[in-house]
C-alpha cells in the first residue's frame, strides 16, 4: 500500500468495511483466519455489530446469506461467505480468493426407495424442495428439465417424506444427514468453499486497489501455509543429490553450512504435512540427524 493511500485513509477517517458471518462454523473459521493474518477481531461486546481489525479495516457482523447483498450494494467493501450463497444471490461481486474452508456441495437428493437413479430420470413437473431456489432452477433448466420449485427455509430433508416434494436440493458435507433421513444423493449441482468477495466499484479486479491487494496477500499467505510444514535436518554433504529428490521444497531445499559441521550440512524445506512421515523416514535412511518439523503460520512466495 503506497504512502498516499495510507495518508488519505487516515486523514478522512475511512476504514475499509469487511462483512463477516455473525455466527456458526463459518464465522469461527473466518475469525481464526483473520487472527492468523494479524488482523485480530477486537469485539467491544457479545452483541456488537462491528469490530476493529486494527489500522484501516473494520469488520461488520451480518448473516452469511446477506453478505453478497451487502458487498454488491456497497454497504461493505469486502466480505467472506460461502460461494453457494454468492451463486444463489445472483449479485455481481468479484471472487477474490478461495479461502479453503467451509467446503461443501449443493446436491440433488431423493428418497432411498425412489426409482430415480440419475438426473435424466427426473420427470418434468417434479416438485423440488430447496433453500436455494435460484441455483436449483438454473441447474434443472440447464438439464432441460422443467420442475416446480418449492422454496423452504430449512429442513429440506423432511419434504419428500411429507409429500411436499419428490426431490430436494440441499447442501451436503459428509452426506450423513441425508442417510439418517432416508435420502440418497443423486448428483452434485455445484461445489462450494468460503470465498473473499469484493464490490465491483472498489476492486475492478484482484490488484486494482493497493489496500485490497495487501489484504488479499495477507489472507493468501495464511491459506497457503495450511497443510504445510517447515522441516530442517542435518545431512551428509555427499548425499545432497539424493536429498534433493526427498526434499523438493518450493524451489528446492535450502542448504546451509554448519559451523564445525565437517561433512554435514543443514537442509531446510517446506513439505506437505501429509508427506512428513514418509519424508522423515527417507531422510533417516540417508543418515540425516537433528530432524526438526514445525508449523508455518504464513507463507509468502
118-156 pLDDT, tens digit per residue, is 999 999 999 999 999 999 999 999 999 999 999 998 889
Q: In angstroms, rounded to a whole number, what is the distance separating the alpha carbons of residues 76 and 91?
A: 14
287 closest CA partner among 263, 270, 268, 269: 263
80 closest CA partner among 92, 56, 96: 96
CA dist 169 → 80, 134, 187, 246 (Å): 23, 11, 10, 46
The listed range with the strongest mean pLDDT (38-47, 217-226, 242-251) is 217-226
Reading the block at residue 63, the C-alpha cell is 448473516
> Given this model, what pLDDT does residue 260 score?
77
Q: Does pLDDT of 247 surpass 50?
A: yes
Q: Phi first, then psi: what are they for 295, rounded to 5°? A: -75, 155
Q: Tell the burial category of 123 from Cβ atoms under 10 Å away from its Cβ (0-12, 13-18, 19+).
A: exposed
User: Which sequence spans correspond to the domains of the chain?
Assistant: 3-103+193-225, 104-191, 228-295
147-177 pLDDT, tens digit per residue, is 999 999 888 999 999 999 999 999 999 999 9
Q: Among 3.40.50.12280, 3.20.20.30, 3.40.50.180, 3.40.190.10, what is the CATH number of 104-191?
A: 3.40.190.10
Q: In angstroms, rounded to a whole number, what is the distance separating the alpha carbons of residues 64 and 182?
A: 29
List the CATH code of the domain at 3-103+193-225. 3.40.190.10
Question: Would you give the DSSP letter of residue 206?
Answer: T
Q: In angstroms, rounded to a whole number, what is the distance separating the alpha carbons of residues 76 and 63?
A: 13
Q: Does pLDDT of 234 surpass 90?
A: yes
- Strands 104-111 and 167-172, bridge-based pairing: antiparallel
- Sorting pLDDT into bands at 50, 70 and 90, what band is 301? confident
- Chain-wide mean pLDDT for the chain? 89
> Given this model, what pLDDT does residue 275 score?
94
- Sorting pLDDT into bands at 50, 70 and 90, what band is 210? confident
Q: Does pLDDT of 227 surpass 60?
A: yes
Q: Does pLDDT of 187 surpass 90?
A: yes
> Given this model, what pLDDT does residue 274 score?
93
Q: Does pLDDT of 204 surpass 90?
A: no
271-296 pLDDT, tens digit per residue, is 999 999 999 999 999 999 999 999 99
CA dist 72 → 66, 69, 77, 86, 260 (Å): 10, 5, 9, 10, 61
Q: Does pLDDT of 116 surpass 70?
A: yes
Q: In angstroms, rounded to a whole number, what is the distance separating the alpha carbons of residues 29 and 236?
A: 42
Over residues 74-102, the mean pLDDT reads: 95
List the CATH code of the domain at 228-295. 3.30.70.120
**In terms of pLDDT, which residue wins out, 102 or 55?**
102
Over residues 3-19, the mean pLDDT reads: 60
Amino acid at each position: 500500500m503506497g504512502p498516499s493511500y495510507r495518508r488519505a485513509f487516515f486523514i478522512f477517517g475511512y476504514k475499509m468495511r469487511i462483512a463477516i458471518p455473525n455466527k456458526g462454523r463459518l464465522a469461527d473459521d473466518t475469525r481464526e483466519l483473520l487472527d492468523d493474518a494479524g488482523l485480530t477481531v477486537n469485539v467491544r461486546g457479545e452483541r456488537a455489530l462491528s469490530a476493529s481489525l486494527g489500522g484501516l479495516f473494520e469488520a461488520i457482523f451480518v448473516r452469511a446469506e446477506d453478505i453478497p447483498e451487502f458487498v454488491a450494494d456497497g454497504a461493505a467493501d469486502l466480505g467472506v461467505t460461502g460461494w453457494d450463497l454468492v451463486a444463489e444471490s445472483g449479485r455481481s461481486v468479484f471472487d477474490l480468493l478461495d479461502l479453503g474452508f467451509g467446503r461443501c456441495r449443493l446436491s440433488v437428493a431423493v428418497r432411498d426407495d425412489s426409482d430415480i437413479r440419475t438426473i435424466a430420470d427426473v420427470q418434468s413437473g417434479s416438485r423440488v424442495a430447496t433453500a436455494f431456489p435460484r441455483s436449483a432452477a438454473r441447474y434443472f433448466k440447464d438439464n432441460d428439465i422443467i420442475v416446480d420449485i418449492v422454496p423452504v427455509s430449512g429442513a429440506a430433508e423432511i419434504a419428500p417424506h411429507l409429500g411436499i416434494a419428490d426431490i430436494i436440493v440441499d447442501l451436503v458435507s459428509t452426506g450423513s444427514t441425508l442417510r439418517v433421513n432416508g435420502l440418497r444423493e443423486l448428483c452434485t449441482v455445484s461445489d462450494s468453499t468460503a470465498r473473499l468477495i469484493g464490490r465491483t466499484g472498489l476492486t475492478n479486479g484482484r490488484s486494482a486497489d493497493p489496500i485490497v491487494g495487501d489484504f488479499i496477500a495477507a489472507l493468501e499467505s495464511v491459506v497457503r501455509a495450511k497443510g504445510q510444514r517447515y522441516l530442517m535436518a542435518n545431512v551428509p554433504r555427499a548425499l545432497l543429490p539424493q536429498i534433493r529428490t526427498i526434499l523438493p521444497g518450493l524451489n528446492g531445499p535450502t542448504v546451509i553450512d554448519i559451523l564445525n559441521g565437517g561433512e554435514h550440512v543443514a537442509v531446510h524445506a517446506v513439505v506437505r504435512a501429509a508427506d512428513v512421515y514418509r519424508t522423515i523416514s527417507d531422510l533417516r535412511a540417508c543418515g540425516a540427524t537433528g530432524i526438526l518439523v514445525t508449523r508455518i503460520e504464513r507463507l509468502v512466495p
